[in-house]
């Protein structure tokens, strides 16, 4: 900018708008040449910086795409492993065929109704799909026993959350799946198993899984009893809301069935 006014405030204002230099008349040739040279150098640096920034942005975009592909591949591998483990449980205990998947579907519906994060819902879905993995340690004749079970047999069954945890603990999941599986039979008042955890000691994801497991199990046929139906299952969690089961989870489950008309796939609810 060339001007006859020697005004520092104007000079500052001009520079703020992007002017490269401020030359006051009368001026000499060398002063103009220096100002022009400085302006050209500044412009060159700006262009180089802009090009470098664009290159960095392109590199970051490429790396982000590669990372997303890697994460997707890893997630697919983890899900494949989980479904393989779930199939192992089904082969050991045909009476619970479909149980884990139905529990997963209900648990995710409850979690969504509660407004849990997408990451928490992923954790719940994965954990629910294999929550009975520890039953592979229970003799098949106990799992399919038509009559009542004795104390020794019941203690073996009660150990399945711990066994499942021990199997899953070495696997580096991006979610606390092993802990959720371990806690899914814990109860709010500390009366559950295997550790008698209570209140805030129990993960929210485990509380959701626990309620979904109870509802599906009561609604399904077992070797030792006929199906009790959805209404009986909902009555159970309502009666023990705030004692055995987390109130927020119970409320969400009831809303899912009564307002959202949730139904287990292939098993329409009786009217």
pLDDT of residue 92: 74
Interval 206-217: pLDDT, tens: 999 999 999 999
Q: The domain containing residue 154 runs over which residues?
A: 93-258
Assess if residue 84 is contained within a domain.
no
Assess if residue 64 is contained within a domain.
no
CB 209 within 8 A of CB 184: yes
Assess if residue 229 is contained within a domain.
yes
Interval 141-165: pLDDT, tens: 888 888 888 999 999 999 999 999 9
Least confident interval from 28-42, 133-147, 240-254: 28-42
CA distances from 173 to 79, 102, 135, 221, 239 (A): 10, 22, 21, 33, 35
DSSP 178-203: HHHHHHTT--TTS--SSS---GGGS-
Phi, psi of 262 (to 5 degrees): -65, 140
| Same domain assignment for residues 125 and 49 | no
| Same domain assignment for residues 42 and 112 | no
Catalytic residue status for 135? yes
pLDDT of residue 27: 66
How far apart, in whole angstroms, are the C-alpha atoms of residue 7 and residue 26?
14
Assess if residue 46 is contained within a domain.
yes
Domain count, the chain: 2
Given 54, 135, 145, 255, the catalytic residue: 135
Assess if residue 243 is contained within a domain.
yes
CB 133 within 8 A of CB 38: no
CB 168 within 8 A of CB 133: yes
| pTM of the complete model | 0.73
């Amino acid at each position: 900018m060339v001007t006859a006014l020697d005004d520092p405030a104007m000079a500052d204002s001009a520079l703020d708008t992007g002017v490269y230099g401020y030359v006051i008349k009368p001026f000499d040739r060398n002063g103009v040449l220096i100002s022009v040279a400085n302006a050209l150098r500044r412009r060159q640096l700006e262009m180089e910086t802009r090009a470098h920034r664009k290159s960095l942005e392109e590199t970051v975009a490429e790396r982000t795409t590669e990372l997303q592909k890697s994460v997707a591949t890893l997630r697919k591998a983890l899900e494949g492993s989980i479904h393989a483990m779930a199939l192992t449980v089904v082969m050991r205990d045909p009476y619970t065929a479909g149980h884990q998947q139905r529990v997963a579907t209900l648990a995710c519906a409850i979690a969504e109704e509660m407004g849990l994060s997408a990451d928490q819902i992923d954790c719940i879905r994965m954990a629910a799909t294999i929550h009975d993995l520890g039953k592979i340690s229970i003799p098949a004749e106990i799992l399919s026993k038509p009559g009542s079970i004795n104390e020794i047999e019941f203690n073996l069954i009660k150990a399945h959350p711990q066994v499942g945890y021990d199997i899953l603990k070495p696997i580096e999941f991006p979610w606390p799946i092993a802990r959720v599986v371990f806690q899914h039979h814990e109860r709010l008042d500390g009366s559950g198993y295997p550790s008698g955890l209570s209140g805030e000691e129990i993960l929210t994801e485990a509380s959701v899984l626990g309620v979904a497991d109870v509802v599906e199990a009561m609604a399904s046929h077992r070797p030792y009893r006929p199906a009790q139906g959805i209404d009986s299952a909902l009555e159970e969690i309502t009666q023990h809301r705030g004692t055995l089961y987390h109130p927020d989870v119970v409320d969400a489950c009831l809303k899912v069935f009564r307002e959202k008309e949730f139904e287990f796939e292939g098993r329409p609810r009786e009217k």
